[in-house]
C-alpha cells in the first residue's frame, strides 16, 4: 500500500516559492503532507501560493524573504518551527537570470547581483538550514543548479558561474553533514516553462529546443516531482549528487 502523505508533518521551507519551480515544489510538498514556509522576495506572490495550498487542504505560511539578506534568512529559518516542528526539508529555488551579455561586456554590478542571489543566496540558506536540521536530527536539502553549470552558457557567464558554485556548495555540505543524517542534493534543469524563461529577450532561446531530444521545455511540475522524490525516504541513499532534468540536452 502506498502512503498518500509520505512527507507528513515534515516542516519544509522553499525559497523563490512565489513562482515557477519554487511554487510547484511548495504545492507538491504540501500535497504530500508537509507544512511549508513559502518564501520569496515577492511577498504578494508568496501569499497567493500559500493561500492556494491552504485552500486545497494543505498547511502553509507565506513570508517575504530576500535570500541575499543573511539576517532575514536566519529569521526565516527559525520561524519555520512555527509550522509545528523542526525544519526537515528545504528547497532553495530563488534565482535570477541577469542580463544577456558576453563576458567582455558583462556589467560588473550585474555580475555581483547574479552571484549575490544565485550563489550567496544558497550559501546563506545552507548556513542556517544545516544547523536547524542538525537540531532536528536530520533532513534533506535540494538546491537549484542548471545545465548552465555543466555546459557553460553563452551570454550567461555570471549565471553559469553561480550555478557551478551551487554544485560545489552542495557536494561540500553533503560531505560535512552526511554524518548528521542530512542529505544535500542539487537539481540541474534544462529549459523549464516558467516566468524566468518568459522574461528572456525575444530570440534568447531560439535554437535551444532543437538541441533538446524531447523537443519541448519541462513543466515546473515535472521538476518538482523529481525534487519531491529526492527529499523523500525513497531517496535515502542519495546525497551530494546533481540530478539533471533536461529532456536529454546534455546527452552525448
Ligand X SMILES: NC(=O)c1ccc[n+]([C@@H]2O[C@H](COP(=O)([O-])OP(=O)(O)OC[C@H]3O[C@@H](n4cnc5c(N)ncnc54)[C@H](O)[C@@H]3O)[C@@H](O)[C@H]2O)c1
With contacts defined by CB under 6 A, name the span among 12-20, 51-59, 174-182, 230-238 that binds ligand X: 12-20
CA 69 to CA 240: how far, in whole Å? 26
With contacts defined by CB under 6 A, name the span among 15-23, 50-58, 133-141, 224-232 that binds ligand X: 15-23
With contacts defined by CB under 6 A, name the span among 6-14, 55-63, 65-73, 175-183 that binds ligand X: 65-73
Binding mask 68-107 for ligand X (x = CB under 6 A): x------------------------xxxx-----------
Q: Closest distance between ligand X and the C-beta of residue 61, in Å?
A: 16
Contact between 191 and ligand X per CB under 6 A: yes
Q: Closest distance between ligand X and the C-beta of residue 155, in Å?
A: 15
Q: Which of 32, 47, 66, 76: binder of ligand X (CB under 6 A)?
A: 66
Task: Give the DSSP H or E segment for 38.
Answer: strand 36-40
| Helical segments of the chain, H only | 20-31, 43-55, 70-79, 108-115, 121-136, 148-151, 157-177, 195-198, 220-230
CA 94 to CA 146: how far, in whole Å? 13
Q: Please provide the distance, in angstroms rounded to a whole number, between the alpha carbons at the two ends of the chain.
A: 39
Contact between 194 and ligand X per CB under 6 A: yes
CA 56 to CA 237: how far, in whole Å? 32
Contact between 20 and ligand X per CB under 6 A: yes
Site for ligand X in 211-250 (CB under 6 A): none
Contact between 40 and ligand X per CB under 6 A: yes
36-40 and 11-15 beta bridge pairing? parallel
Number of residues counted as binding ligand X (CB under 6 A): 29
Shortest-Cβ-distance residue relative to ligand X: 20
In Å, how far are 26, 62, 115, 120 from 12, measured between CA atoms?
9, 12, 25, 21
Q: Closest distance between ligand X and the C-beta of residue 82, in Å?
A: 19
Active-site residue flag, 159 = yes
CA 119 to CA 169: how far, in whole Å? 9
Contact between 65 and ligand X per CB under 6 A: yes
Q: Closest distance between ligand X and the C-beta of residue 220, in Å?
A: 6
CA 172 to CA 213: how far, in whole Å? 32
Query: Do you know the residue count of the chain?
Result: 252
Contact 190, 147 (CB under 8 A): yes
Contact between 146 and ligand X per CB under 6 A: yes
Contact between 157 and ligand X per CB under 6 A: no
| Residues engaged in binding ligand X (CB under 6 A) | 15-16, 18-22, 40-42, 45, 65-68, 93-96, 117, 144, 146, 189, 191-192, 194-197
The residues assigned a catalytic role are 159
Amino acid at each position: 500500500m502506498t502512503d498518500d502523505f509520505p512527507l507528513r508533518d515534515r516542516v519544509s521551507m522553499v525559497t523563490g516559492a512565489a513562482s515557477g519551480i519554487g511554487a510547484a515544489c511548495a504545492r507538491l510538498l504540501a500535497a504530500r503532507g508537509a507544512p511549508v514556509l513559502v518564501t520569496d522576495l515577492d511577498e504578494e506572490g508568496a501569499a497567493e501560493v500559500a493561500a492556494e495550498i491552504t485552500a486545497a487542504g494543505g498547511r502553509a505560511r507565506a513570508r517575504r524573504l530576500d535570500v541575499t539578506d543573511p539576517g532575514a534568512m536566519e529569521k526565516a529559518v527559525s520561524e519555520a518551527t512555527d509550522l509545528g516542528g523542526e525544519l526537515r526539508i528545504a528547497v532553495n529555488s530563488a534565482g535570477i537570470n541577469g542580463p544577456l551579455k558576453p563576458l567582455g561586456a558583462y556589467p560588473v554590478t550585474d555580475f555581483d547581483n547574479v552571484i549575490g542571489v544565485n550563489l550567496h543566496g544558497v550559501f546563506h540558506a545552507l548556513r542556517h538550514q544545516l544547523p536547524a536540521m542538525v537540531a532536528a536530527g536530520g533532513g534533506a536539502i535540494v538546491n537549484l543548479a542548471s545545465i548552465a553549470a555543466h555546459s557553460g552558457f553563452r551570454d550567461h557567464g555570471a549565471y553559469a558561474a553561480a550555478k557551478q558554485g551551487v554544485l560545489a556548495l552542495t557536494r561540500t555540505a553533503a560531505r560535512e553533514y552526511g554524518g548528521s543524517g542530512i542529505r544535500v542534493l542539487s537539481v540541474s534543469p534544462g529549459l523549464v516553462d516558467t516566468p524566468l524563461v518568459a522574461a528572456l529577450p525575444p530570440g534568447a532561446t531560439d535554437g535551444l529546443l532543437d538541441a533538446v531530444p524531447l523537443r519541448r521545455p519541462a513543466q515546473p511540475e515535472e521538476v518538482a516531482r523529481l525534487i519531491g522524490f529526492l527529499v523523500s525516504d525513497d531517496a535515502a541513499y542519495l546525497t551530494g549528487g546533481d540530478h539533471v532534468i533536461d529532456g536529454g540536452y546534455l546527452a552525448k
